[in-house]
Structures are given as C-alpha cells and as structure tokens.
Structure 1
Amino acid sequence: MELLPPDVLAFLIAFGFCAAFIDSVVGGGGLISLPALLWIGLPPHLALGTNKGAAVMGAVASFVTFVRSGRVNGWLIRRLFPLSLLGSVIGVLVVQQVSPDILRPLVTVLLIVVLVYSVLKKDWGRENHFTGLTTRMLVLSGVVAFTFGFYDGFFGPGTGSFLLFAFLMLGYDFLGAAANARALNFASNIAGVTVFAVLGLINWSYAIPMGLSMIVGAWCGAHMALKKGTGYVRPLFIAMTTVLIGKQIVDLLK
C-alpha cells in the first residue's frame, strides 16, 4: 500500500463521510464518492472497484445500526439477502462483457416515475402499514431483491432509491423502508466488492481511508435518520432521487 499525501487523504476522508452519511439513509452516495475517486486520477474501472471497496465498510455500519434499532425485518431479510447477493455477483460478471450504458435511458424513466409517485402521495410512508406477506408477495419480493442486486452489480446508480421504493410498496413507512433497503444493499455491496477484489480492481490505498471515514459517516447518517424519523427521510429521499435523475439526464446528453 502506498502512503497518500495529506491533501489527498483529507479529500478522501471528507468525501467519504459525506457520501456515506447520505447513502446510509436513502442511497445515492456513489454520486459523491465515485466522482471523488475519478478526480484524484483513478481510471474508471479501478475507481468503480475502489468505490465498492470503500462503500462496503459504510454499508456494514449502517446495516448494524439499523438492525440494532429493531427497524429491520429479520425474517424477511434473511430470505431476500442471499438473492440480492447472488444477483449482484452475476451483475458484476455480466458488466465485464456488456456496457452498462444500455440501461441508462430505462433507469432515468423509472427514477422519474419513483419521484413523481413519491411527491404526489404526500401521506405515503408516514405510517407503517406492513402486516406480513402472502406467498405470492414473498416470491415477488425475491424477484425484486435478485433484480436490484443484479442491477447494483451491473450498473448501480439509484439502487438505494429503488429498494426503498420497493419496501414502501410493501407498506413500510419511510424509516422502515430505509432500514430494510440498506440491509439488501449491504448484500449487493458484499458481492460486488468480492468480485472486484478477485479481479484486482480495488486500490486499497484509497479504499481503506475512504472506507473508514464512511463507517463514521454511515453511523452518523443512520442515527440521524432514527432520531429525526420519517419526516427527515422522505425529503432526503426525494432530493437524492431528483439529483440522480439530473445526473442520468446529463450523462445521456453527453
């Protein structure tokens, strides 16, 4: 591992903290951390892997925090976790062969649908109406977990928003949806970082200091969400989804 200059180290710590603070609640932290790694000179394929290597550390912190809070449905997540993990492994392997840009137009449209639906249904997600799952809904949830796991490994942007939206559709409030979404996102992060590491696409000299700051950022972000409640998560979710849409549109116009 190389010794980083103090200014680069400070840069990674600052951006890592900010990215994980937001990502721990509603996702979208990659919009902050990935550009930061590109700005300091890492090539795109190495930046993607290094970002995953750092992000998984923050994902552990937010996952543990939400589990301890009792907001994660352990019964459901134990069944969906392996599917999300498997989907992510396949996604990372497939993206080595196919450009992820083919998904960008579809993702932009879906994010717009998620945003419009969330804005128009003002009372949606304020209270927890989840009462359990039928067999049909459990199977459908499994398909969703695998699909978004694959998407996270293959492309990534918006995974947190999509997962949070999916749990809202099951009847959770915004805070409960955020907690369970982070649990599944943790699974896809584990799978992604494992495959990137095997392929030698993680620069640990950058990933470790950024990841350590992400642990702190994720812990702070998750505790802030638990303290402030649904009234804090909903506007943050809407704001980050809007930013994601803007980013995808800009990329489409390039």
Structure 2
Amino acid sequence: MHDIHLYTLLFLIATGFLASFIDAVVGGGGLISIPALLFVGLPPSTAIATNKLASSMGSLTSTISFIRSGKVNFRLVSKLFPITLIGALFGAYIVKHVSSEILKPLVLTLLITVAIYTILKKEWGKDSKYRGMTKTKAVLFALVIFLIGFYDGFFGAGTGAFLLFSFLMIGFDFVQSAGNAKVLNFASNLAALFMFLYLGIVNFSYGIPMGIAMILGAIIGSNFAIKKGVSYVRVLFILVTLFLIGKNIFDYIK
C-alpha cells in the first residue's frame, strides 16, 4: 500500500459516500465511483476491480439494513443468491475471452424499455401483490436472475436497475424490490470481487477508504429509502435509469 494524498482521500470518501447512498436504494452507484477512481489515475481494469471492493462493502451494509427492516423476502432471495453468484462468476470469466462491447446496444434498448414502462405505469410498485409463483414462472424467473448475474460479471452497468425491475414484474412494491435486489446485487458483487482478487488487480489503498465511506452512505441511503417509502424509491429509480441511458448513449457515440 502506497501513501495516498489527502485531497485524493477526501475526494474518494465524498464520491464513495454519494455513490453508495444512491446505490443502496436503486443501484447505479458505479456511475459515480468508477469515474472517480479513473479521475485519480487508476487504469480502467484496476478502477473497476477497486470499485468492486468498495461497492461490496457498501452493498453488504445496505443488504443488512434491508434485512433488519423486514423488507427482504428471505425465502425467495436465499434460493436466488447462489444462482446470481454462479451467473456473475461465469460472466466475469467470459469477459476475459469476449468483448463486453457486444452488449451495449442491447443494454441501451433494455434500459429505455425499463424507463418508459416505469414512467407510464404510475401505480406500479405502490403496493406489494406478490403471492408466490407457479413452477414454470419460478424457473423462468431463476433464469432471468442468472442472466442478470452473468451480466453483472460480464458488463455491470445498470445491474441494480434490472434486478429491481425484475422484482417489480413479479409483484413486489418498490421498497421490497429494492431490498431483494440489493441482496442479489451483493452476491454478484462478491463473485466479481473474488475474480478480481484472484487476478490481483485491486488497489487496496484507494478501495478501503472508499469502501468505508460507502458503508456510511449505504446505512443512510437504505434507512432513508425504508423511511421515505415507495414514492421516493420510484423517483430515484427513474432518475438513475435515465442517467444510465444517457451514459450508454454517450459511450456509444464516443
């Protein structure tokens, strides 16, 4: 670990806190934290790997907050956790052999669909209507979750939004969907982190201070979501999804 400049440290703490506050509720914190790590001079692969260390610390914290508040359907999520983990490991392995660029047009299309659907369906996710699933629906849903886990290991941007959207589709309200999504997002973060640690590309000097700031951001962000409720989460979800669309268009044009 090398010495870290005070201003760099303060910058990473501030951006880490803000990223985690947003990420705790609807995901998308990487939109802030990855550019911040690139800005302080880390190469892209190290920035992504270091972000996974910090964001794993944040997502574990918000996962605990949502579980303690009773906003997580543990029976369902405990079965999906290993599926997400395996999907993400597989995705992180494949990305070494195939360029993730091939997914960009598909991701952009999906994000636009998610945003339009959520904006138009105003009453959607207001109340929880989840009453379980049929066997066929459960298998299909498990496959969707595996693919999102794979996507997080392979590409990553917007994973939180896709997970949250999936739980809304089967009848959970916004806050419960956020809680369920956060647990599974932690699983995919963990899988990718294992892969990056194995490859030895994590910068601990930058990742640990940012991660500590993310723990604080996650506590405040998740408690804010639980107290403010469904309408707050819905608005933040739409905003982050629109930001992700903007970023994808910008990257695509560039």
Question: Normalising by structure 1, what TM-score?
Answer: 0.99
Name the CA distance, whole Å, in 2 between partners of 1:119 and 1:69. 27
Name the CA distance, whole Å, in 1 between partners of 2:96 and 2:10. 32
2:37 counterpart of 1:37? yes
Shift of 1:63: 0.4
Name the CA distance, whole Å, in 2 between partners of 1:30 and 1:186. 14
2:126 counterpart of 1:126? yes
Shift of 1:64: 0.4
Determine the structure 2 residue equivalent to 1:164: 164
| Residue pairs, 1:54-203, within 5 angstroms | 54-203=54-203
Query: 1:211 corresponds to which letter in structure 2?
Result: G
Question: What secondary structure sits across from 2:105 in the alignment?
Answer: helix
Equivalent residues of 1:81, 1:145 under 8 A apart: no
Name the CA distance, whole Å, in 2 between partners of 1:114 and 1:78. 25
Shift of 1:98: 1.4
2:3 counterpart of 1:3? yes
Shift of 1:55: 0.5
Q: Which segments of structure 1 move beyond 6 Å, counting only runs of 4 or more? A: none
Name the CA distance, whole Å, in 2 between partners of 1:140 and 1:71. 23
Equivalent residues of 1:80, 1:141 under 8 A apart: no
Query: 1:165 corresponds to which letter in structure 2?
Result: F
Shifted more, 129-138 versus 79-88: the winner is 129-138
Name the CA distance, whole Å, in 2 between partners of 1:66 and 1:18. 19
Determine the structure 2 residue equivalent to 1:224: 224
Unaligned runs of 5+ in 2: none
Question: What secondary structure sits across from 2:16 in the alignment?
Answer: helix
Deviations 1:208-240 (A, max 9, x none): 000000000011100000000001000000000
Question: What secondary structure sits across from 2:171 in the alignment?
Answer: coil
2:20 counterpart of 1:20? yes
Shift of 1:41: 0.5
Name the CA distance, whole Å, in 2 between partners of 1:129 and 1:100. 36
Determine the structure 1 residue equivalent to 2:244: 244
Query: 2:226 corresponds to which letter in structure 1?
Result: L
Deviations 1:16-39 (A, max 9, x none): 000000001001000000000000
Tell me how many residue pairs correspond in the alignment: 254
Shift of 1:97: 1.4
Shift of 1:3: 2.1
Name the CA distance, whole Å, in 1 between partners of 2:62 and 2:136. 30
Equivalent residues of 1:59, 1:182 under 8 A apart: yes
Query: 1:50 corresponds to which letter in structure 2?
Result: T
Determine the structure 1 residue equivalent to 2:53: 53
Question: What secondary structure sits across from 2:97 in the alignment?
Answer: coil
Query: 2:110 corresponds to which letter in structure 1?
Result: L
Shift of 1:142: 1.1
Question: What secondary structure sits across from 1:131 in the alignment?
Answer: coil
Equivalent residues of 1:152, 1:188 under 8 A apart: yes
Report the RMSD for the aligned CA atoms in angstroms: 0.6
Unaligned runs of 5+ in 1: none
Query: 1:105 corresponds to which letter in structure 2?
Result: P
Shift of 1:9: 0.4
Question: What secondary structure sits across from 2:41 in the alignment?
Answer: coil
Question: What secondary structure sits across from 1:101 in the alignment?
Answer: helix
